[in-house]
Structure 1
């Protein structure tokens, strides 16, 4: 169902059962999958690739040009996975020649006034609470939860199943399975509630807790902590995901308890 007060470029590719409310503007190079609902006053610009059964609420702008002075008009995309909900006034910019696309995965909830900048890759099943902001070139794993008004510095990485507390400024990489909070940002325990909800066993949760106790609580330097974990903990999918993340961190990971006390 397409309301007559909406503008849709004749070359946009819209599935037959998409609902488009009044005052929507859809540009030329746009694809929208079956069952998606587009609320009134949404603007969908060139490069948007929107999946099936998505919901996009009034005032959102999808695939706007990057707010990057290096952008030279290259052909790039902003891709939204199936079953993702984008609430009021969210802005998602398309990519630049760095990654050539911005991606938001499947089954995500991006709440009102959030911003996802150019060249961000967001995994599946993520929740961004109101006014969460990603600068450019950020990678977010699956099942990540950002509470309200989280701001993430460009080029940071947030690991899968992490939780970042409201109002946190993320200037360092956040490893998988943890909670991060405080100012400056620091380790605040493991995301045990989230892990239980997603079917992690008690043994796996205990393993995560023990590994991060070595990394963040025992005050070993990082390279020594990695050596201890490799020597004392059997190789598992969980252990290896943590170690791979820590080794590959470009910005450095968040600090532990004793190093990241609040300055307030």
Structure 2
């Protein structure tokens, strides 16, 4: 495929020779595109973008756009850094950073369906799936192996824990701890993400431990610190520590059971 003759590659953009660029796409000066990337038609890649290898960018996506922040000025621009083997479908919009030195960061093997949005200064890990129009406001954090269903809206500064799932048309106002399913107009925990846990290799014993830990934290009637201490004492495991550290480090608070 190579580079389509209608594409515009500004002087100063760095593209590996193996990169493919479709019709009417624009890649600004300063952008860095790694080997094996496929840029489809009518894509705009802004100059603050640093992209690894084997990424695929769908028709009409805007990558590294100016933040949707009223305080943005060009001199405040921070980078958008994208890892390897991500697939961004049609109309995906990802903002560069503005308020943190690292800017916006996306890891490896993520799949963003049509019109998903990642706001400025967000951090997204690996192997996550964003269904159509799933949206992260600025400074949100998504760990690994998360599924965000269609029309999910995550409030700024919220965190989504690993191997969790957010149901469609859900607003997320606080942190979602690992391994759960969240649903509702304002997200509440409705159970464990058992399908996701199985698919990611968690054993029956591990799943049972996670269930017991959440029962202690949310159903024991203990205050949070005491409940976390009891969970770690009664059910020592890497998953218990992961849940406890996530909750202890929360700044916005953690959603509870419905």
Contact kept, 8 Å, 2:13 with 2:47, in 1: the verdict is no
In the alignment, what sits opposite 1:19?
A: 20
Q: What do the CA deviations read for 1:116-158 (whole angstroms, capped 9, x no partner)?
A: 0100000000000000010000111011110000000000011
Contact kept, 8 Å, 2:79 with 2:104, in 1: the verdict is yes
What is the distance in 1 between the residues matched to 2:187 and 2:23? 43
Q: 1:142 aligns with which of 141, 144, 153?
A: 144
What is the distance in 2 between the residues matched to 1:49 and 1:217? 45
**1:120 has 2:125 as partner:** no
In the alignment, what sits opposite 1:57?
A: 58
What is the distance in 1 between the residues matched to 2:196 and 2:202? 9
In the alignment, what sits opposite 2:105?
A: 103
The unaligned stretches of length 5 or more in structure 2 are: none
Deviation at 1:223, TM superposition (A): 2.7
In the alignment, what sits opposite 1:35?
A: 36
What is the distance in 2 between the residues matched to 1:65 and 1:100? 15
Deviation at 1:97, TM superposition (A): 2.9
| 3-state DSSP of counterpart to 1:172 | coil
In the alignment, what sits opposite 1:7?
A: 8
The unaligned stretches of length 5 or more in structure 1 are: 258-264
Q: What do the CA deviations read for 1:187-245 (whole angstroms, capped 9, x no partner)?
A: 111111111111111111111111111122344432332132133222x2111110000
Deviation at 1:99, TM superposition (A): 3.9
- Displacement over 6 Å in runs of 4+: none
**1:241 has 2:242 as partner:** yes
TM-score by length of 2: 0.96
What is the distance in 2 between the residues matched to 1:83 and 1:107? 5
In the alignment, what sits opposite 2:67?
A: 66
What is the distance in 1 between the residues matched to 2:232 and 2:13? 53
TM-score by length of 1: 0.94
Residue correspondence of structure 1 range 79-94 to structure 2 within 5 A? 79-94=81-96
Q: What do the CA deviations read for 1:138-193 (whole angstroms, capped 9, x no partner)?
A: 11101111000000000001111111101110001000111111233111111111
Deviates more, 1:203-212 or 1:73-82: 73-82
Aligned length: 256
Q: What do the CA deviations read for 1:38-94 (whole angstroms, capped 9, x no partner)?
A: 010000011111111111011100001111123232241112211100001111000
CA RMSD of aligned residues (A): 1.2
